[in-house]
Structure 1
Amino acid sequence: MGLIIIQVKKITFFLTAMCFAVASCTKDKTDYEAEIDTLVPEYHEFKEAVSVHSDGYDISIEALNGTFFKGYNEIRLKITDSRTNGKANTSAVTFLPIRNNADGSNVSCPHRYDLVDKPDDGYFSGYSVFTDESGSDGSWELYISFTIAGQTHTVKQPISVQEQTNKNLNITTFTGKDDQQYFIALVSPQKPKVGENGLVAGIYRYNRPTYPPSGNFPDASQFSYTEVSDYTLQLDPRMPEPSMGNHSSPNNKDLIQQSDGLYHGVVNYTMTGNWTLNFILLNRQGQILKGTIVPTDFTPGVEGVKSELHIDILF
């Protein structure tokens, strides 16, 4: 009889704990959905973010919603002949973002230096992964050059980089086991759904200069970055909140580089809320550059362990 009573108490305690966890999940889920609906819009339209007139030409740089954000930014650059108002016959365009820090130092960020001509679309294509927003500790400038009829023109233009409030587009910077500096920037989805989502990220490495700067500032060789090739970004998404028990989800796929230079995979979000994308970055030889395996234990009431390489998101 005593044994039955003990068993009933255990069952009652378990059901009470489960009800508490479910109630917590429901409350959190409602709050997260309200936040995502009000604070995280999706942007699909490119608008002018900055324009400059130089040497008889108008240069227009477009970004999503006309804003540069901390993190990954696709850019479109157009050059127009001011006299004819028509597209200029441009043969080459370079693009170099420079951050002037308050301490007097200068840094850049992952970017496409030689923009890609898209003649059918009427613009030059590139990207910039801004590592910091503009503020009292530093400001950003764009150094642009373009060649027309064999003559090279140069332009310097201050810009404003805004804080990225969409946590689904977060970035992380780290030093790998090869002593190189790496950057991972989430590109999409901007607004995930419950279920399987295509997950896209850019992975970049800073190219340390092998010799001192030469010529006029800025020397592009001092601010060079590479899209790393044929790496693998292993993925283990978890909900680290204590009420979620650090649970994962099925049908996730590691991120592999595709022809666009970006890394594509699949993340399966089983519900809205706080998620951590736990990563392990492998080079083309399969060696771990950064990241640790996350324990598979279900830990209700305890915050989940994260990989040493991770990005937190919220949807």
Structure 2
Amino acid sequence: MKNLILFLALFGLVAQSCTKEKTDYEVEKDNDIIENETFKEATVINNGAYTIHIESLHGMFYKGYNEIRLTVKKGTVVQPVSSFTFLPIRTEASTKTSSCPHQYDMTYQAQGNYFIGYSVFTEETDATGSWDLYLSFTVDGQLHTSKKRITVEKQSNRNRSMTTFIGKDEVQYYIALIAPQRPKVGENPLVAGIYKYSPSVSPTSGEFPDPAQYNYNPVADYTLRLDPRMPEPSMGNHSSPNNKDLVQGKDGLYYGVVNYTMTGNWTLNFILQNQHGKILKGTEVPTDFTPGVAGKKSDLYLDVLF
């Protein structure tokens, strides 16, 4: 009986604290979360008689996952482009260059008469480095190339964050959250992109940038094990039922389910396993109920807020 009374008292304190903090979370999430559902023009590139129109959600480029659409026009007429390549390059203040996970050969969408792909920008534009897009397209058998400096903004929506790390196999990996942009209380489809960097074994072509030197590919048939928890001391390492690990879909992205039982700060604790079940990164987290103590996190995690 004493133990029951103690538990109920602790639960009451947690619930009271949660109610207080929930109001603060509502204010913060409303200020931070922009739900991007409409593609808008992010930039236009002039190339002789042609203009390249690049669209993204909300008309901006953000650190993390960006879905991108491209069209080529002559005047106001969309041109019959037979191929389109897309290569983002970041140049550091030291002049060192790098890229990020991206779709080099863009995919044509006949229904909308545009090309579509993605870029996972790993850094925002700041004093330490800048981003340029190197594009090429073919019209009537003639190849055209373009370059454009862009601005990559800070990702303010913590439900669209990303992380990068070296796995136990010494490979550089990237995990980027894609959905939900604005979670709800209850079960939410959780979508992420998982990529790896594959250094070229061939010497550079001598031309900059050489696409072969910037190989980033979605990983195949991996599993991203999921354990969501509320890490705040007031929440006592609270978790939720009915979560599902992320597995790869036909489009190459990874799909699972996260069940948020209330609004607030959540940590998505992950364990990444390859197609053979080997753990590449991530650790189990304690399941103890620990009111007043911050919950421990996996060594692979992303914090979210809604």
TM-score when scaled to structure 2?
0.97
Is 2:62 the counterpart of 1:69?
yes
CA displacement, residues 243-283 of structure 1 (integer Å, 9 cap, x when unaligned)? 11111100000101111111000000000111000111111
* Alignment RMSD (CA, Å): 1.4
> CA separation in 2, counterparts of 1:280 and 1:33?
30
- The equivalent of 2:281 in structure 1 is 290
Is 2:238 the counterpart of 1:280?
no
* CA contact 1:55–1:153 (8 Å) conserved in 2: no
Q: CA deviation at 1:16?
A: 4.5
- The equivalent of 1:31 in structure 2 is 24
> CA separation in 2, counterparts of 1:147 and 1:15?
69
- The equivalent of 1:126 in structure 2 is 117
Q: Which has the larger radius of gyration?
A: 1
Is 2:50 the counterpart of 1:57?
yes
Q: CA deviation at 1:89?
A: 1.4
Q: Structure 1 residue runs of 4+, over 4 Å off?
A: 10-16
Q: CA deviation at 1:14?
A: 5.2
- The equivalent of 1:3 in structure 2 is none
> 2:249 corresponds to which letter in structure 1?
Q
- The equivalent of 1:229 in structure 2 is 220
Is 2:104 the counterpart of 1:104?
no
Q: CA deviation at 1:112?
A: 0.1
- The equivalent of 2:173 in structure 1 is 182
> CA separation in 1, counterparts of 2:112 and 2:295?
47
SS, match of residue 237 in structure 1: strand
* CA contact 1:280–1:291 (8 Å) conserved in 2: yes
CA displacement, residues 133-166 of structure 1 (integer Å, 9 cap, x when unaligned)? 0011000000000011111110000000000000
> CA separation in 2, counterparts of 1:250 and 1:23?
22
> CA separation in 2, counterparts of 1:115 and 1:14?
57
* CA contact 1:277–1:313 (8 Å) conserved in 2: yes
> CA separation in 1, counterparts of 2:241 and 2:12?
24
- The equivalent of 1:306 in structure 2 is 297
- The equivalent of 1:80 in structure 2 is 73
* CA contact 1:117–1:124 (8 Å) conserved in 2: yes
Alignment of 1:142-153 (within 5 A): 142-153=133-144
SS, match of residue 213 in structure 2: helix
Percentage of identical aligned residues:
58
> CA separation in 2, counterparts of 1:284 and 1:147?
37
Distance 1:181 1:266, change over 3 A: same
* CA contact 2:10–2:291 (8 Å) conserved in 1: no
> CA separation in 2, counterparts of 1:275 and 1:138?
31
> CA separation in 2, counterparts of 1:169 and 1:259?
21
> CA separation in 2, counterparts of 1:101 and 1:117?
32
> 1:71 corresponds to which letter in structure 2?
G
CA displacement, residues 42-81 of structure 1 (integer Å, 9 cap, x when unaligned)? 1101000010110211100000010000000000001112
Q: CA deviation at 1:11?
A: 7.0
> CA separation in 1, counterparts of 2:78 and 2:206?
31
* CA contact 1:59–1:77 (8 Å) conserved in 2: yes
> CA separation in 2, counterparts of 1:210 and 1:155?
27
2:236 to 223, 233, 245: 245
* CA contact 1:201–1:262 (8 Å) conserved in 2: yes
> CA separation in 2, counterparts of 1:22 and 1:256?
34
> 1:263 corresponds to which letter in structure 2?
Y
- The equivalent of 2:40 in structure 1 is 47
Moved more, 72-81 or 17-26: 17-26
